[in-house]
Amino acid sequence: MLNTFVKSVNLSGAGQKWRNIKDALYKTKVIFVHVPKSGGTSLSHSFRARYPLSSFKVSEEASSRALYDVSTAEWMRFKRDLMAYHASGGSHYIQGHAPVDHDFISQYADEFQFVTLLRDPIDRFISHYHFDARCRKYPFSEFLETDRGWIESHVLCYFFGEQPWGAKDGIEAAPQRAIENLKKFSVVGILEDQEAFSRACQERLGVKLALPKRNIGGERKKKEYDISDADMQKLKEMCALDQAIYDSFAAH
């Protein structure tokens, strides 16, 4: 019976017809570059609710399991390639914890609106440390000295500054590259100014968002987590390059 059904049904062109339907339903295509621990999870829920028939979110669990034996740098490239695959394949909303560069943005800028949400680098670092058990296994002062601590304090350089993942050489040039790449985005939000971000999304994307609660600041976190003054000073120094990127957009 199944064979008879398969032989009698002609699905030629069905894929294109379905893409045409989605194009009619969703006039705006969005790529959301999700920086971890920057308020993006709630934002993701709002976006995907607007694109229920044509959204793709790169799964951290599935992608890490599929590439369990590769380096973090290769994993990051794989996630970006997955985003590119779905952008080319007809998805209208795409999201991932993956870095983007000038070439990626240029390839899809005519079709997609690029969006991201930034958070004060010191707050983001502390939040990530306490969220991730792999980080918390180290005392805070020891984590600052690890390779992972370095990456987490330079995450904006790696996500937007075309810096090879984990590489330290030449990272001083990454902030300017990151700023130039982020200027090509339709919306660059600041978690600490959610109202402005919400207005920008509604004006430029036609999407009204339900945003996360405002995050507590660094001073409260410093007291809550009992971070020493010396460790806070060390963290500020480590985050200086990311801070320059963040400040460039927070100033607006």
In the chain, the domains with their CATH numbers are 27-250 (3.40.50.300)
Q: Between these two residues, 227 and 220, which has the higher pLDDT value? A: 227
What is the reported pLDDT for 12? Answer: 60
Weakest-pLDDT range from 76-85, 176-185, 220-229: 220-229
Which residue reads 């990311």 in tokens? 242
Weakest-pLDDT range from 14-23, 27-36, 134-143: 14-23
Q: Quick one: what percent of the chain has pLDDT higher than 70?
A: 88
What is the reported pLDDT for 4? Answer: 61
> CA 33 to CA 148: how far, in whole Å?
20
What is the reported pLDDT for 11? Answer: 53
Which residue reads 């992972």 in tokens? 148
Which of 115-119, 192-196, 221-225 is modeled with the greatest confidence? 115-119
* pLDDT tens sequence across 29-78: 999 999 999 988 877 888 888 899 999 999 999 999 999 899 999 999 99
Contact 95, 47 (CB under 8 A): yes
* pLDDT tens sequence across 223-244: 556 799 999 999 999 999 999 9
The tokens for 178 are: 């990151």
Whether residue 212 has pLDDT greater than 50: yes
Q: In whole numbers, what is the pLDDT of the chain averaged over residues?
A: 89
pLDDT-derived band at 3 (thresholds 50, 70, 90) equals low
Contact 197, 189 (CB under 8 A): yes
What is the reported pLDDT for 23? Answer: 76
> CA 81 to CA 100: how far, in whole Å?
10
How many other C-beta atoms are found inside a 10 Å radius of the C-beta of residue 94?
27
Q: What is the mean pLDDT of residues 117-132?
A: 94
